[in-house]
Amino acid sequence: MYNKGQEGFYMRVTTSKSKNSESFYITKGYVNNKGVSTSVIIRKLGTLKELLPEHGPTRDDVMKWAREEARLETLRYKEEQQAKSVQITFHSDQKLDYSQQVFYRGGYLFPQAFYYRIQLDKTCRKLRDKYKFKYDINAILSDLIYARVLEPASKRSSFKIASEFLEKPSYQLHDIYRALDVLGNECDFIQSEVYKNSHLLGKRDDKILYYDCTNYFFEIEQEDGERKYGKGKEHRPNPIIQMGMFMDGAGIPLAFSLFPGNANEQTSLKPLEEKVLQDFGCTKFIYCSDAGLGSEAIKRINHAGQRAFIVTQSIKKLNKDDRKWALDKTGFKRVSDDSPADLSRLTEDDAGLYYKDEPYTPHSLHQRLIVTYSPKYAKYQKAIRDAQVERAEKMLHSGKVKKERRNPNDPARFIGKIAVTEEGEAAKIKNYLDTDKIETEALYDGMYAVTTDLLDDDVKDILKVSEGRWEIEECFRIMKTDFEARPVFLHDDVRIKAHFLICFLALVIYRYLEKSLGNAYTCETILDKLKSMNFADVQEQGFMPLYTRDKLTDALHEACGFETDFQFITKSQMKTIQKKSKGRK
């Protein structure tokens, strides 16, 4: 009752009977990976009553016809499998050709999908038409961005990395440096084009804009151009350059600007915000930043027009009366239901969030001061401080106390000094554990404050916006750590701007890719997977994936609209995949 097909499976006719009818099927039998024989229905032929008029007149005639259909189905299946299979012969005594490339990077295909979705290729076309240059600036910019995501390195090394992509560079190394001049000079234009085209991926959440600054050091010893000595995050003795960046409410970078390393970071906001207002057309938004970028002047800028602000506020820097009010444990309400609460009666295991607010006019701008308290955060801060106090005690016991205390979290801050004079001896400096300082810091455990000109908005909404600031801090972390934006080895100011533009665009593309995956994976997990998605060229017939398929690779393929999780990919199939990654059919 069956016809044997390809080794490991067979087609046969099976029937099933019910009270009033008999149905005929073609099933495929096979041995599964556990060594168990099983089967699956390939095609339903119909009931005996339906088949008799055409294939009868008897049941035996119907069965004979059905078996012939099973034989033909087997032949079709074998032909399909043979069409999909590739016969390749390997010779154990045959050496590879000199300079034969076998390894190819394929992880770039996924950021490439978003590069083309925000139409950076069309932006490059506009630059080509403007400058009339011969080299392919689209290929250069895209390869530099993909290399920054997969294997961040110098521009020379990035060129070598791009030569390992499935699509070879169509330019020379010297073309990259020529292109950097154009990219640096057109930095603002490219940013505005990216913002405009990003709406093709969905509506931007630009009603909330987060702003922050960071700095990057250079591997030089002398100041030059905008590379100035300043207060760097890493406390390195190198000239630095500073970057200010806006991010939207969904965590997607919006715009950036660079300014000298010795400049006050508060002066960076106004020119970049004017660019956002004029070039991007963003005129109605809530400005959100930390206290360092929330001076009275900055607040006034963002109190104008249809803008508003939510800025963190250091409780320690409030005036005496406001600070006393903020630290008073009475007058709080639970954020979830506005029920009154006395902080002194809460347990450390309480998972709630509490607040109180009051009108706040430190100068002439009417604001609202909101102070929150979290028992969970207070418990965390106490645990951190207790560990630091323990380290301070060990320093005292060993007699090894640091002289400089640059880090505000340095345990040495709890060590005080006092001059002690013993009879007949000169005064000596004695170190001691400063319990007063410990108690003072404990007063602020779990406390957090913001100021805003949203005088009538719900506290929940205001706090939700403020809590989103962590994402812009993560953006800078990704640029510095994962994309290795520093140290910077370039010397020309225009090319330095181009370098940071490439890092910024890599971040934008990565964020869209991350968002398309439902924010279900960490940055480290996504980047590690992209770096591993490589292929081996098999006898110039096609490619074999060298990575492990998992749920993340499935999600990446679904988000980007193509598939590479096959045992073997022919040359023509790979070209089709490359076209699909660029949004072409």
3-state SS class at 45: strand
Q: Give the number of C-alpha atoms closer than 13 A to the C-alpha of residue 97, restricted to the C-beta side.
A: 6
> What confidence score (pLDDT) does residue 260 get?
85
| DSSP letter assigned to residue 364 | S
> What confidence score (pLDDT) does residue 308 get?
97
> What confidence score (pLDDT) does residue 219 get?
53
Structure tokens at 480: 């510095």
Q: How far is CA 62 from CA 48, 54, 492, in A?
A: 8, 9, 84
Structure tokens at 157: 């090394």
- In 274-342, the DSSP E strands lie at 286-289, 308-312, 332-334, 340-341
Q: What is the DSSP string of 493-518?
A: HHHHHHHHHHHHHHHHHHHHHHHHTT
> Angle at Cα 199 formed by Cα 193 and Cα 201, nearest 5°?
115
Residues 142, 502: contact at Cβ < 8 Å? no
How far is C-alpha 32 from the geometric centre of its chain's CA atoms?
40
How many C-beta atoms lie closer than 10 Å to residue 76's C-beta? 12
Domain finish residue from 442, 477, 492:
442
Q: How far apart are CA 487 and CA 477, in angstroms?
A: 14
To which residue do tokens 């603002």 refer? 188
> What confidence score (pLDDT) does residue 230 get?
45
Q: How far apart are CA 485 and CA 503, in angstroms?
A: 6
Structure tokens at 395: 């320093």
Structure tokens at 478: 């990704």
Domain presence at residue 397: yes
Respond yes or no on whether the N-terminal peptide bond of residue 57 is cis (omega within 30° of 0).
Answer: yes
Structure tokens at 466: 């403020």
Residues 504, 256: contact at Cβ < 8 Å? yes
Domain presence at residue 558: no
How far is C-alpha 380 from the geometric centre of its chain's CA atoms?
27
Taking alpha carbons only, the member of 177, 142, 147, 180 closest to residue 161 is: 147
Q: How far apart are CA 29 and CA 198, in angstroms?
A: 51
- Number of helices followed by number of strands (H, E) in the chain: 19, 20
Structural domain including 392 reads 377-442
Domain presence at residue 26: yes
Domain finish residue from 36, 59, 84:
84
Number of domains in the chain: 2
Q: The whole model's pTM is what?
A: 0.79
- The neighbouring-strand residues paired with 227 are 224
Domain finish residue from 55, 84, 113:
84
> What confidence score (pLDDT) does residue 579 get?
95
Domain presence at residue 427: yes
Domain presence at residue 415: yes
Name residue 20's amino acid: N
3-state SS class at 528: helix
> Angle at Cα 143 formed by Cα 476 and Cα 516, nearest 5°?
55
* Burial of residue 305 (number of CB atoms within 10 Å: 0-12, 13-18, 19+): exposed
3-state SS class at 384: helix
3-state SS class at 37: strand
In tens digits, the chain (585 residues) has pLDDT values of 434 433 455 789 999 998 889 999 999 887 776 778 888 888 999 999 999 999 989 999 999 999 999 999 888 887 777 666 667 777 788 888 888 899 999 999 999 999 999 999 999 999 999 999 889 999 999 999 999 999 998 899 999 999 999 999 999 999 999 999 999 999 999 999 999 999 999 999 999 999 999 988 765 444 444 444 444 444 444 578 889 999 999 999 999 999 887 788 888 899 999 999 998 999 999 999 999 999 999 999 999 999 999 999 999 999 999 999 999 999 999 999 999 999 999 988 899 999 999 999 999 999 999 999 999 999 999 999 999 999 999 999 888 877 655 677 888 889 988 888 776 677 788 889 999 999 999 999 999 999 999 999 999 999 999 999 999 999 999 999 999 887 677 778 899 999 999 999 999 999 999 999 999 999 999 999 999 999 999 988 899 999 999 999 999 999 999 999 999 999 989 999 999 999 987
Residues 6 or more apart whose Cβ sits within 8 Å of residue 65: 51, 55
Q: How far apart are CA 130 and CA 554, in angstroms?
A: 41
> What confidence score (pLDDT) does residue 84 get?
67
